[in-house]
Amino acid sequence: PMGINRIHDIGESTDCILCARCIDECPKKALQFVTRNVIELH
């Protein structure tokens, strides 16, 4: 999926994105990224 390709662009934040329980530890930019993709994927 295209979403996965976008995740790789974030690099170190990838693990946080894949772990919903880790979102609180993610950078603000990554958090916004996660929010958008979660809505799109679901």
pLDDT band at 34 (very low <50, low <70, confident <90, very high): low
- Helical spans, DSSP H, in the chain: 2-10, 14-18, 28-41
Q: How far apart are CA 35 and CA 20, in angstroms?
A: 10
Q: What single-letter DSSP state applies at residue 26?
A: S
Report how far apart, in Å, the C-alpha atoms of 15 and of each of 3, 20, 26 are.
14, 9, 9
Provide the token pair at 35: 């929010």
Containing domain of residue 30, as a range?
2-41
Angle between helix 28-41 and helix 2-10 axes, rounded to 10 deg: 170
The pLDDT, as a whole number, for residue 22 is: 56
How many structural domains are present in the chain? Answer: 1
- Look at 33 and 21; give whichever has higher pLDDT: 33
The pLDDT, as a whole number, for residue 29 is: 56
pLDDT digits (tens, 9 = 90+) for 2-29: 455 455 455 555 555 555 555 555 555 5
> What pTM does this model have?
0.19
